[in-house]
Amino acid sequence: MKNDKKILSMGLAAMLGVCAAGCAMSGKEKEEAPFVPETVGSYEAEDAVFSGNVAAAPAPQLQGFSGTGYVEGFQEDGDACVFSVTVPEDGFYDLNFVSAGNGGEKYNYVIVDGEQMGTVYIADSAFGDSVLDRVYLAQGEHEISLSKYWGWIFLDRLDILTAKPIDESIYQVTAGLSNPNASEETKRLYSYLLDIYGEKFLSGQYCDTGRLGREFQVIQDSTGKTPAVLGLDMIEYTPSRVENGSSGKAVEYAINFWEEGGIVTFCWHWNAPSKYLTGQWYSGFYKEYTDIDLAKIMNGEDEEGYELLMADIDAIAVQLQRLEDAGVPILWRPLHEASGGWFWWGAAGPEAYKKLYITMYDKLTNEYGLDNLIWVWNGQDAEWYPGDEYVDIIGEDIYPGERVYTSQATSYIHAAQDYSTEHKMVYLSENGCLFDPDLAIRDGAMWGMWCTWNGEFVVEDVVVYTLSEQYTEESMLQKVYGHEAVLTLDELPDFKTYEIRKELK
């Protein structure tokens, strides 16, 4: 779609495929007519095209399959089963890969017409549903692949079903700030975030060296625009890094950007205390470079470890206090990507993680009285959710590959519907390539913000910084930053006078 104004003027309800008849129905009528998906196509895996090690099982042992058998062999990168399908009309469809896990839970990639659309999950050893929700398909023929990520599944068939319309209430945020004592500046910023949610996208960029850093420079040179959100990291303030000579300037960069009218978000790559470092000290946030056991720490078996973690939080609290003293509210995203298991704070499972998250929240909010934090939870799995009272915004980190401009609507809707009992804002808290705003509007994936990670995702690593097009082409970068639904630094209001919403006063 080329006419952005036309897209926006159609209204979100129309873009989500809500029919006029459905809108005219009374609440009672809606309750009496629940959505029933229609199967528009069913394709046996054994009749599809295979690549790599994938092949039809020569002697099927599992029961419950349809057709003449199923396929196996999802073992190495590139192993895939490719379906040629036909859909009757433009619209949103659920892709159900009926499959069985071979030894526990498995995730695998779904690729549509050469673009990665997301992942599907299966845990049961019997054949069951493994669904990617709400994929937009135009009328006609398509190539849909299930490709190895974890692999080790048995695939029976692909069913294509009409998708249920999005419940528009997910854009109507009901959650206030978790901290009732939030500062005036924090309430003003949060009020603005609420006011634009569901209608606009905040542009964001991580840049270790602040507003004048290389990532901001190349974006400005290419688009003439400056991101609205600056992403920074508390990493260099961590005690085990300071002990090795590190020093941070992120707080100064944050204060300067806020004074210029921008919004700041912080993550924290928490280097484990020195006692637990087993490899290169500067990679001490990864589990493979530590021998820390968070479960033992949080259940009281390792009291010294608990005190060391609390001392680390104390050190970061000093920096957060500097920001509060300067009147800077921040989108605070600690303990990110926990369910992935690659960071030490996620290596011991969800219960230990949640205890640490809640302890950190209580310590920073109640012990230190830090009222400038808007808490962005980024655990990325419902089992890891600490509770609504500790979360203001839900963040998802997505790296779909190179030049993948799809909206990642499945992840957005999952985050909006499946984590919280309230309606909270959902942000793309880290990303590699950008998404196309037109596709996000069409799909109903109204991410409140994106924040592209630094380095190769934006900049070529040369002496004279130039734009890297490995993940996002310059033409798409320019389209995104020039889109009327995308907010940049020059379009932000004065947060020192922005009106606080009634429910936050």
The alpha-helical segments, DSSP class H, found in 20-136 are: 20-24, 27-32
Catalytic residue among 44, 215, 324, 430: 430
Catalytic residue among 72, 215, 337, 396: 337
- Catalytic (active site) residue 105: no
Strand-pairing partners, residue 431, are 398, 452
Residue with tokens 């849909």: 144
Phi and psi torsions of 312, nearest 5°: -65, -45
DSSP 288: G
Q: In this structure, how many other beta carbons lie within 10 angstroms of the beta carbon of residue 174?
A: 11
Amino acid identity, residue 301? Answer: E
Task: Say how far residue 342 (Cα) sits from the centre of its chain.
Answer: 16
Q: Is 3 helix (H, G, I), strand (E, B) or coil?
A: coil
CA distances from residue 441 to 35, 159, 444 in whole angstroms, order as listed? 23, 26, 5
Exposure string over 86-112, b if 16+ CB within 10 A, otherwise e: ebeeebbbbbbbbbbbbeeebbbbbbb
Residue with tokens 């023929």: 141
CA distances from residue 43 to 67, 90, 95 in whole angstroms, order as listed? 9, 19, 11
- Catalytic (active site) residue 430: yes
Whole-angstrom Cα distance, residue 462 to residue 478?
A: 22
Q: In this structure, how many other beta carbons lie within 10 angstroms of the beta carbon of residue 80?
A: 21
DSSP 128: B
Element (H, E) at 418: helix 409-418
Active site residues: 337, 430
